[in-house]
């Protein structure tokens, strides 16, 4: 068990949990454990106000340990995964709290293959936080990585058959959540011929993820409908996830995206093995629909790191999460929102129909998510009273649904997911379970 690392790196309030002092110690622990002497590290960040402060602390610690640091600036998280391999660097670091509010920030770490670090590596880093960390006799160089965003955009365009994918005539509303996809995503879609209506595309770290982006689709729905656009595309603050909407209000989540991609590849005999990797939160309806088409669903714990590692272990090409993290392993070992969007548009172009039409073919079970804010979500999850409520809910659902109770890996809350074939039954059980857990949390 780690003190700082959660589901997706380190995350917390900037200048409270995530202080320059902690980040400086972290950088030296990284240098003394997982990066070879004289190695190179690429650092990217999103638009948060605290980003430059934490970038300076990271750079100082790494350079003092003799490592060269390349600053990629404001850039999507998956771009760092690409740049590590393109630059043959030893490590990549992203300063971002992903979909969290502006006052938070975080640290994500990627190895030389562009993959997120394993839990074992994170434990090793934490165990070295207290030092000692000898100062290197030689100081590393800190430099700016030129044209990082341009190179990443070229990689995205090269991931599809752009000569035969023409989006001319399509209108796309693109919501960048005031985050790091803003300088890149609209350009990529325009390059493919689409008319782009950008919203929340200013680089504003005080507004990142606030009432916008993949965590709040209300304005995207409204503007997509008002303009009669073909599709609305929403990214989160660091660009590792994406959600889609059509002008009628229909939403395409990560589960349906995986279904579209996997079934299309299977039809063309390109899905080998015939399987995807999803998480415990992915919809049972997707699983049933894919199994009818001879495609297995392998499940992991929540977090695209777990999905990616299972995909690599088993040679599976498509994986992801309902939240919009989707991995096309032939192109990237991590969730990439822009890449996912362009790959899905390529698939729709191949089939000669729009994405909502393809997505509507996948029937999902009613699913309800609730959050219990509490000081100790891990303790609440295993509390005998909570376990009793969980068993009651599972008994009420029988074989027609599922209940998942899990502590958030990024925020102080216990997450509830209820899934059932019958929507009213799903709502009833969710309300009962939530009320019971809220009562336990208040008592404690």
DSSP bridge pairs for 319: 277, 327
Sequence-ordered list of residues with C-beta below 8 angstroms from that of 319, at least 6 positions apart, any chain: 258, 276, 277, 278, 304, 307, 308, 310, 311, 326, 327, 329
- pLDDT at residue number 375: 87
Range 109-135 average pLDDT: 91
| DSSP 3-state of 345 | helix
Confidence of residue 444 (pLDDT cuts 50, 70, 90): low
Architecture in CATH for domain 367-443: 2-Layer Sandwich (3.30)
Confidence of residue 132 (pLDDT cuts 50, 70, 90): confident
The token duo for 380 is 């609440």
- pLDDT at residue number 122: 94
State the burial class of residue 385 (Cβ atoms within 10 Å of its Cβ: 0-12, 13-18, 19+).
Answer: middle
Confidence of residue 1 (pLDDT cuts 50, 70, 90): low
Confidence of residue 60 (pLDDT cuts 50, 70, 90): very high
ω into 340 cis (within 30 of 0): no
Architecture in CATH for domain 158-246: 3-Layer(aba) Sandwich (3.40)
- pLDDT at residue number 410: 73
Per CATH, the homologous superfamily of domain 5-149 is Alpha-D-Glucose-1,6-Bisphosphate, subunit A, domain 3 (3.40.120.10)
CA distance 425 to 160: 43
Q: Which CATH number fits domain 252-360: 3.40.50.720, 3.40.120.10, 1.20.1740.10, 3.30.470.20?
A: 3.40.120.10
pTM: 0.92
DSSP 282: S
Domains of the chain: which residue ranges?
5-149, 158-246, 252-360, 367-443
- Which has more pLDDT, 6 or 394? 394
Q: Do domains 158-246 and 367-443 have the same CATH topology?
A: no
Sequence-ordered list of residues with C-beta below 8 angstroms from that of 267, at least 6 positions apart, any chain: none
Range 416-423 average pLDDT: 92
pLDDT at residue 47 tops 90: yes
Confidence of residue 8 (pLDDT cuts 50, 70, 90): confident
ω into 273 cis (within 30 of 0): yes
Question: Catalytic amino acids?
Answer: 98
- pLDDT at residue number 131: 76
The token duo for 59 is 């750079």
The token duo for 329 is 């392993």
Percentage of the chain modeled with pLDDT above 70: 99
């Amino acid at each position: 068990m780690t003190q700082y690392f959660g589901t997706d790196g380190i995350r917390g309030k900037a200048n409270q949990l995530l202080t320059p002092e902690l980040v400086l110690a972290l950088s030296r622990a990284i240098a003394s454990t997982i990066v070879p002497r004289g190695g190179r590290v690429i650092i990217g960040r999103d638009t948060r106000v605290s980003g430059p402060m934490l970038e300076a602390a990271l750079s100082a610690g790494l350079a003092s340990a003799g490592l060269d640091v390349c600053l990629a600036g404001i850039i999507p998280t998956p771009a760092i995964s690409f740049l590590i391999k393109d630059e043959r660097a030893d490590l990549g670091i992203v300063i971002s709290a992903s979909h969290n509010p502006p006052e938070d920030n975080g640290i994500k770490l990627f190895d030389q293959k562009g993959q997120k670090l394993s839990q074992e590596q994170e434990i090793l880093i934490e165990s070295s936080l207290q030092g000692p960390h000898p100062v290197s006799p030689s100081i590393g160089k800190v430099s700016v990585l030129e044209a990082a965003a341009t190179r990443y955009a070229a990689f995205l365009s090269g991931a599809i058959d752009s000569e035969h994918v023409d989006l001319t005539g399509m209108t796309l509303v693109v919501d960048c959540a005031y985050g790091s996809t803003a300088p890149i995503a609209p350009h990529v879609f325009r390059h493919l011929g689409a008319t782009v209506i950008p919203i929340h595309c200013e680089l504003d770290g005080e507004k990142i993820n606030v009432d916008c982006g993949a965590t709040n689709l209300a304005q995207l729905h409204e503007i997509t409908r008002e303009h009669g656009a073909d599709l609305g595309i929403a990214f989160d603050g660091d660009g590792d996830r994406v959600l889609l909407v059509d002008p009628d209000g229909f939403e395409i989540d990560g589960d349906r995206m995986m279904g579209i991609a996997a079934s299309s590849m299977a039809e063309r005999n390109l899905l080998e093995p015939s399987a995807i990797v999803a998480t415990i939160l992915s919809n049972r309806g997707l699983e049933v629909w894919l199994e009818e088409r001879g495609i297995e669903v392998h499940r992991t714990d929540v977090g695209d790191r777990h999905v990616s590692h299972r995909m690599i272990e088993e040679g599976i090409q498509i994986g992801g999460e309902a939240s919009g993290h989707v991995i096309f392993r032939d192109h990237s070992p991590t969730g990439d929102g822009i890449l996912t969007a362009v790959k899905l548009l390529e698939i729709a172009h191949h089939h000669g129909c729009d994405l909502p039409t393809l997505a509507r073919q996948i029937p999902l079970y009613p699913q309800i998510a609730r959050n219990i804010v509490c000081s100790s979500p891990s303790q609440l999850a295993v509390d005998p009273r909570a376990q009793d409520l969980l068993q009651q809910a599972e008994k009420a659902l029988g074989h027609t649904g599922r209940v998942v109770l899990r502590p958030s890996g990024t925020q102080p809350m216990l997450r509830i997911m209820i899934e059932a074939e019958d929507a009213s039954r799903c709502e009833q059980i969710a309300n009962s379970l939530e009320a019971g857990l809220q009562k336990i949390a208040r008592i404690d």
